[in-house]
């Protein structure tokens, strides 16, 4: 029996996915639920498992190709048909022409790592014409335009009307990167290249993985004064982080307030119960769930911080969906979301945080896992940072930063006398959007977070 493998639908709003890497070759034996390829969308990277036991008999799309949801991308022979598939041979050529994507500037959500762009040759700008459309849709009648082609059209000022005139040589007449580059070469004079600055020689192409970033453009001459350097193109997730952070700073009126919390009782509580918690739950008890709980407590008291902005309207969310910043092994960041965090106790928050972090690092997240956040929490103190001024995670309006927990001498009043004690202290910051959150409201919310932290103990927290 021949079983079709289709491009999965990874979210309600997603209509296509891009193949990052095939982990199996034609002729390889595969088991049910074994990963056969990795794909990326504008939201997240994920692995696609085999639906059956069998042999991979056909691959219909190559790496870096964008495919509509529901289309067949491979075929698996199972049962008696598996015996008829030839075994894989060494040096199998790619099943289809590989096209490296250019950066997708309009993407608004952080995703996991994927292939980096190949920079197209610079061309002279072409004046816009009246009566033309420069917003290129994914589908135009019977024609389908990949994110790569739409971005190239945008960067080279090609209208929808002009794009329709380009002859496509790809699958079902689609326009490929080569088609676009040939058209651009004949459309306008290529800008003469200036002498490239002296840089360290990059790795040879043969040594670069198929999905690794490849730099083919020119570097700003201003960097020559620094001497020798290497050029490392941003991978796709770093480009998206860059775009997301820059857009946030230009959108929101960022203000940060900082307070200090005595978390001595939390440290004692965690130290006492961490072993039994690990034995019962199978996960480590970290400090993040305590701070997440404090954020939930404060947002219940001050719901006007748990809001979004839509033009001139304020969106007041009825649920508290915490976005928890999670570092990936490659140094990038992703922000999965705990939905309805107000319905969870501290143990429930710990489970959710561990689950999302584990799936983020193993590329098992779904697009819905990183959407719908209403307030963010980021731990800037992991490597000893005292406090930070985090950037707001759009379209939210506030984010809490957790500083390092340190022992410090603190003055406490005991029975009317000032005493110097050694306590575990942590700075907590909140960055907020001053367009809709005033300083008084932010200060009240921050004070509520500190109050919640300082009142966590064996009598108030059940583990």
The CATH topology of domain 2-84 is: OB fold (Dihydrolipoamide Acetyltransferase, E2P) (2.40.50)
| Beta-carbon count within 10 A of 241 CB | 18
Ranges of each domain in the chain: 2-84, 253-454
Each residue's pLDDT tens digit, 416-456: 999 999 999 999 999 999 999 999 999 999 999 999 999 99
Terminal alpha carbon distance of the chain = 52
pLDDT tens, position by position, 38-58? 888 766 778 888 999 999 999
Residues annotated as catalytic are 434, 438
Q: Out of 3.30.559.10, 3.10.50.40, 3.90.480.20, 3.50.50.60, which CATH number does the structure's domain 253-454 have?
A: 3.30.559.10
- Residues of the chain under the 70 pLDDT cut: 10-14, 42-43, 81-132, 139, 141-142, 170-173, 187-217
Q: How far is CA 83 from CA 29, 55, 59, in A?
A: 10, 8, 17
Look at residue 105 in the predicted model and tell me its pLDDT.
38
Q: Output the pLDDT for position 368.
A: 86
Q: Can you give the pLDDT at residue 184? A: 86
Separation CA 265–CA 453 (nearest Å): 9
Tens digit of pLDDT for each residue in 328-368?
887 778 899 999 999 999 999 999 999 999 999 888 888 88
Other Cβ atoms closer than 10 A to 365: 23
> Residue 108's pLDDT is what?
39
Max intra-chain CA distance, the chain: 88
User: Using omega within 30 degrees of 0 as the cis cutoff, is the peptide bond preceding 395 cis?
Assistant: yes
| Whole-number Å distance between alpha carbons of 323 and 369 | 10
What pLDDT shows up at residue 13? 58
Radius of gyration of the chain (CA): 26
Q: Are 89 and 125 a contacting pair, CB within 8 Å?
A: no
**CA dist 266 to 276, 353, 396, Å?**
16, 18, 28
């Amino acid at each position: 029996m021949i079983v079709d493998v289709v491009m999965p639908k990874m979210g309600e709003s997603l209509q296509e996915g891009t193949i990052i890497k095939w982990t199996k070759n034609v002729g390889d034996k595969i088991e049910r639920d074994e990963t056969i390829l990795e794909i990326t969308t504008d939201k997240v990277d994920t692995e696609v498992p085999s639906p059956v036991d069998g042999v991979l008999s056909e691959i219909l799309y190559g790496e870096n190709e964008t495919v509509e949801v529901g289309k067949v991308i491979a075929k698996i022979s199972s049962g008696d048909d598996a015996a008829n598939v030839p075994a894989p041979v060494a040096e199998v050529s790619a099943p289809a022409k590989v096209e490296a994507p250019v950066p997708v500037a309009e993407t608004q959500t952080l995703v996991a790592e994927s292939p980096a762009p190949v920079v197209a040759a610079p061309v002279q700008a072409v004046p816009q014409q009246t009566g033309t459309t420069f917003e290129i849709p994914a589908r135009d009648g019977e024609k389908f335009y990949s994110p790569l082609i739409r971005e190239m059209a945008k960067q080279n000022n090609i209208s929808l009307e002009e794009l329709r005139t380009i002859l496509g040589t790809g699958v079902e007449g689609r326009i490929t990167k080569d088609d676009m580059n040939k058209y651009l070469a004949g459309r306008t004079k290529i800008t003469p290249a200036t002498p490239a600055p002296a840089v360290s020689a990059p790795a040879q192409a043969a040594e670069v993985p198929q999905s690794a970033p490849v730099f083919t453009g020119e570097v700003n001459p201003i960097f020559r004064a620094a001497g020798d350097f290497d050029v490392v193109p941003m991978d796709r997730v770093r480009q998206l982080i860059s775009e997301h952070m820059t857009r946030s700073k230009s959108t929101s009126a960022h203000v940060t307030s900082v307070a200090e919390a005595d978390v001595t009782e939390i440290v004692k509580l965690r130290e006492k119960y961490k072993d039994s918690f690990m034995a019962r739950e199978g996960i480590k008890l970290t400090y993040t769930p305590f701070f997440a709980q404090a954020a939930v407590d404060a947002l219940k008291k001050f719901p006007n911080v748990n809001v979004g902005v839509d033009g001139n309207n304020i969106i007041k969310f009825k649920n508290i969906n915490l976005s928890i910043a999670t570092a990936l092994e490659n140094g990038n960041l992703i922000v999965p979301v705990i939905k309805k965090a107000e319905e969870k106790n501290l143990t429930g928050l710990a489970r959710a945080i561990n689950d999302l972090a584990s799936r983020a690092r193993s590329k098992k997240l779904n697009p819905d896992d990183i959407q719908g956040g209403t307030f963010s929490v980021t731990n800037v103190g992991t490597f000893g940072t005292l406090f930070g001024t985090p950037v707001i995670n759009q379209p939210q309006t506030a984010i809490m930063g957790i500083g390092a927990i340190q022992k410090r001498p603190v003055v406490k009043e005991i029975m009317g006398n000032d005493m110097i004690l050694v306590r575990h202290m942590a700075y907590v910051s909140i960055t907020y959007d001053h367009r809709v959150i005033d300083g008084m409201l932010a200060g009240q919310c921050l004070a509520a977070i500190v109050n919640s932290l300082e009142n966590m103990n064996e009598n108030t927290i059940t583990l």
